[in-house]
């Protein structure tokens, strides 16, 4: 890809920012070349620093479900900003947001707003430990739940892309408070609970994995975790930062009918601005300060701009037929991927849940991190470069989900399809063909 403007900006950024980026996956280490610096975004498109327009499937890593710069969301932010950008004090809008979250997630009888998904998972797990009086947290190999020290243990997504599944700087004593299991392996979960059930405070899981690529739960997986947590007095925590309001209005909880004790939200709930939330039944949430002994605070929690953007986005998502449209759009993208790959003769597996999907360069199904990790990374890199050269901006990692939006109209889908054949042909040029 020839984008001298972005390359110049990267060199400049590298002098002041580690790797030239403020989040590792943006560095394009998994796909080669250099990252595209974005100038602006509207609808289904982002514009690079050199003026090239791309059909966007990153969507700011999930939040832009109604499209970039949706006029009603922008207006809501502008209206809020005119009244002040931050108060550090309670507002009625925060109450309305909590009420709207509870309507979508009935088990979230009380919730606490924070400023990121990482803060949401940290708060939920501290609460789980405080509520149960136990220390051990269980997560899945390849599951990423934010940057807390005790969660950066065999993490997927960006950490795996960089070949460092265990982050430096995490003390062994901290890592020892987290146990790791394969995703979708109920027998392994049963064995761990049998051996250490009295130590386990919480099992945190993405109900649909998204940080090893889109990996759906096998039948009985979520139900089995619910039963194990009930039997051993642990809390089941759903990390719905990615799936919340995306795979259904009530997220994976609605889609699969399994109710956790605590849910973590982010991304869409902020409408593209920094926000997160965690919550659950009142009995548990009353342990959070100032009601209880579990401390958590944040200067910008409940920020009025973020709350305004989130509430307007949720309002747009409540319109009739929205999720049917999202299913149709994402289904079209998934079908195109599978059809063109077969036409070119490239081995790949397309997995989709609602409006999130991944194209794995291997035979499927992909059910856990080990499956995802065995995909053809070199073929993915060539494919990604081919897409970029033909005007499609796809997540620059084989272990990230792509996010179609309501703004992906027929024109955007047509441009996507036109880019797929040369991209798959590029992937096939290194032995990825059938």
CATH number of the domain within which 383 lies: 3.90.1150.10
Residue of 201, 63, 208, 196 lying closest to 140 (CA atoms): 208
Cβ neighbours for 16, distance < 8 A, ≥ 6 positions apart: none
Residue 220 φ/ψ region, left for φ over 0, alpha for ψ in the -120 to 50 degree band, beta for the rest:
left
Catalytic site residue 415?
no
Residues 238, 371 share a domain: no
Catalytic site residue 249?
no
What are the structure tokens assigned to 277, written together?
């939330």
Structural domain ending residue among the three candidates 255, 284, 317: 317
Q: How high is the pLDDT of residue 249?
A: 98
Give DSSP secondary structure letters for 83-140.
T-S--SS--HHHHHHHHHHHHHSTT-SEEEEESSHHHHHHHHHHHHHHHHT--EEEEE
Residues 428, 279 share a domain: no
Mean pLDDT of 217-224: 98
Residues 87, 42 share a domain: no
Share of the chain above pLDDT 90, in %: 90
Q: Give 276-308 pLDDT, tens digit per residue.
A: 999 999 999 999 999 999 999 999 999 999 999
> What torsion do the CA atoms of 9, 11, 12, 17 make, to the nearest 10 degrees?
110
What secondary structure letter does DSSP report for 22?
S
Q: Give 55-99 pLDDT, tens digit per residue.
A: 999 999 999 999 999 999 999 999 999 999 999 999 999 999 999
Q: Please tell me the pTM assigned to this model.
A: 0.94
Residues 416, 293 share a domain: no
Residues 402, 312 share a domain: no
Rg, C-alpha atoms of the chain: 21
Contact by Cβ (8 Å): 61, 47: no
Share of the chain above pLDDT 70, in %: 95
What are the structure tokens assigned to 295, written together?
């401390």
Range of the domain at 352: 4-69+320-432
267, 312, 362, 415: the catalytic one is: 267
Residues 290, 155 share a domain: yes
Residues 37, 78 share a domain: no
Q: Give 100-141 pLDDT, tens digit per residue.
A: 999 999 999 999 999 999 999 999 999 999 999 999 999 999
Cα angle 374, 55, 25 (rounded to 5 degrees) comes to: 40
Residues 83, 61 share a domain: no
What confidence tier does 157 reach under pLDDT thresholds 50, 70, 90? Answer: very low
Residues 352, 293 share a domain: no
Give DSSP secondary structure letters for 264-320.
EEEGGGGTTSS-EEEEE-HHHHTTBTTTSSB----TTTT-HHHHHHHHHHHHHHTST
Structural domain ending residue among the three candidates 284, 317, 350: 317
Residues 14, 41 share a domain: yes
Q: How high is the pLDDT of residue 163?
A: 29
239, 261, 373, 376: the catalytic one is: 239
Mean pLDDT of 370-385: 96
CATH number of the domain within which 98 lies: 3.40.640.10
The total number of structural domains in the chain stands at 2
Structural domain ending residue among the three candidates 270, 297, 317: 317
Backbone angles phi, psi at 97, to 5 degrees: -60, -45
Q: Distance between CA atoms of 4 and 49, rounded to whole angstroms?
A: 9
Catalytic site residue 183?
no
Residue of 379, 381, 430 lying closest to 1 (CA atoms): 381
Residues 97, 225 share a domain: yes
Residues 280, 425 share a domain: no
Q: Distance between CA atoms of 261 and 230, rounded to whole angstroms?
A: 10
What confidence tier does 176 reach under pLDDT thresholds 50, 70, 90? Answer: confident
């Amino acid at each position: 890809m020839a984008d001298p403007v972005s390359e110049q900006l990267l060199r400049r950024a590298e002098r002041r920012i580690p790797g030239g980026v403020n989040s590792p996956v943006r560095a394009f280490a998994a796909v080669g070349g250099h990252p595209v610096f974005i100038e602006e975004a509207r609808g289904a498109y982002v514009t690079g620093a050199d003026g090239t327009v791309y059909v966007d499937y990153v969507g700011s890593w999930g939040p832009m479900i109604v499209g970039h710069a949706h006029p009603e969301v922008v207006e809501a932010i502008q209206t809020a900003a005119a009244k002040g950008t931050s108060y550090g004090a309670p507002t009625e809008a925060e109450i309305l947001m909590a009420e709207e979250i509870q309507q979508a997630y009935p088990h979230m009888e009380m919730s606490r707003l924070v400023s990121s998904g990482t803060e949401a998972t940290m708060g939920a797990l501290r609460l789980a430990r405080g509520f149960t009086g136990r220390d051990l947290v269980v997560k899945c190999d390849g599951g990423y739940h934010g940057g807390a020290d005790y969660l950066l243990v065999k993490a997927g997504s960006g950490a795996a892309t960089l070949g460092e599944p265990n982050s430096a700087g995490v003390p062994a004593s901290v890592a020892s408070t987290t146990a790791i299991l394969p995703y979708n392996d109920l027998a392994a979960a049963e064995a761990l609970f049998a051996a250490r059930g009295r130590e386990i405070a919480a099992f945190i899981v993405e109900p649909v994995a998204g940080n090893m690529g889109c990996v759906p739960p096998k039948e009985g997986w979520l139900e089995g975790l619910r039963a194990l947590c009930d039997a051993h007095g642990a809390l089941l925590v759903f990390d719905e930062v990615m799936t919340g309001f995306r795979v259904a209005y009530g997220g994976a909880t609605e889609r699969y009918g399994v109710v956790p004790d605590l849910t973590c939200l982010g991304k869409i709930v902020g409408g593209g601005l920094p926000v997160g939330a965690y919550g659950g039944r009142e009995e548990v949430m009353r342990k959070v300060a100032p009601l209880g002994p579990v401390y958590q605070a944040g200067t910008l929690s409940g920020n009025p701009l973020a709350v305004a953007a989130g509430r307007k986005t949720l309002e747009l998502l409540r319109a009739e037929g929205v999720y049917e449209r999202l299913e149709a759009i994402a289904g079209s993208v998934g079908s195109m991927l599978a059809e063109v790959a077969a036409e070119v003769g490239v081995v790949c597996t397309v997995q989709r849940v609602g409006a999130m999907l991944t194209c794995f360069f291997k035979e499927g199904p992909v059910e856990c991190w080990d499956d995802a990790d065995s995909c053809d990374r070199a073929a993915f890199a060539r494919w990604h470069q081919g897409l970029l050269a033909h005007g499609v901006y796809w997540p620059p990692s084989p272990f990230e989900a792509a996010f179609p939006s309501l703004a992906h109209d027929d024109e955007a889908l047509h441009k996507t399809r036109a880019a797929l054949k040369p991209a798959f042909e590029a992937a096939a040029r290194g032995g990825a063909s059938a």
